[in-house]
Amino acid sequence: MSKEEVLGRVREALSVPSHPQVRALAGDGIRNPREARKFMPPGGDTFEERFANFSRLGEKLKVEIHLVPTLSAATDAVLELSKSCGWKKVASHHQPLTDVAVPGLAPEVIWMEDQPGTTALESCDAGISGCEALIAQTGSVLVTSKGSGGRALSVLPPHHVVLATRDQLLPDMLSGYDLLREKYGKNLPSFISFITGASRTGDIERILVLGAHGPKRLTVILIES
């Protein structure tokens, strides 16, 4: 297709009047992002509804989700993962959940606060992090450089394990952005990411490949209490 044909199709599409509600989202007058909720699937009003949505989407995205009653049970779940996978080296960062669950998890534990290099992180079997939130609407994990151990912890190790609590399971992405604004104000983290399933690509002959641009395995351990 030539350049003129492409531009012609764009002009044709722009000439078609859109629905008033859609125009509101596109910027006619004062943009109100809250209107987007009308066009997005609901995340759930209760914890049970949100977890059902998060689990359903997680299954489709090949995310391993464990709902456990206590932090002690979460520690046991991570330890069982370590044993079954034969972890020799893991990376993590200091925060209330990881400070309990990570020490003694593997023969070698490195902490992001010690500023390990990329080579050290790439040699880890797993990266264990907290998160800012879990998003029921999309089955995503919201991470930032400030609250989730920096930029590389959730990217370089081949297995990413996320520890989260019940109150961090939010209904939708707008709630996630609201959380960040309330928590950080105008000093937002330099890195904000929604992780939706393990890293994957289908660019080459439409063959799905896991772990192409990040971890090939994602596990979420959600603490109910």
**151: domain range?**
42-223
- My answer on whether 100 and 80 are in the same domain is yes
- My answer on whether 138 and 205 are in the same domain is yes
- My answer on whether 5 and 104 are in the same domain is no
- My answer on whether 94 and 61 are in the same domain is yes
- My answer on whether 11 and 72 are in the same domain is no
Indicate the pTM of the whole model. Answer: 0.82
Tens digits of residue pLDDT in 154-199: 999 999 999 999 999 999 999 999 999 999 999 999 999 999 988 6
CA-nearest of 126, 149, 93 to 198 is: 126
- My answer on whether 113 and 197 are in the same domain is yes
φ, ψ of residue 201 to 5 degrees: the values are -150, 150
CB-based contact 164:126 (threshold 8 Å):
no
- My answer on whether 175 and 91 are in the same domain is yes
- My answer on whether 110 and 162 are in the same domain is yes
**Residue of higher predicted confidence among 3 and 153:** 153
124: domain CATH number is: 3.40.50.10420
- My answer on whether 52 and 12 are in the same domain is no
Q: How far apart are CA 45 and CA 208, in angstroms?
A: 34
Tens digits of residue pLDDT in 30-89: 456 667 777 788 899 999 999 999 999 999 999 999 999 999 999 999 999 999 999 999
Domain count for the chain, please give it. 2
The alpha-helical segments, DSSP class H, found in 27-172 are 47-60, 71-85, 96-101, 118-122
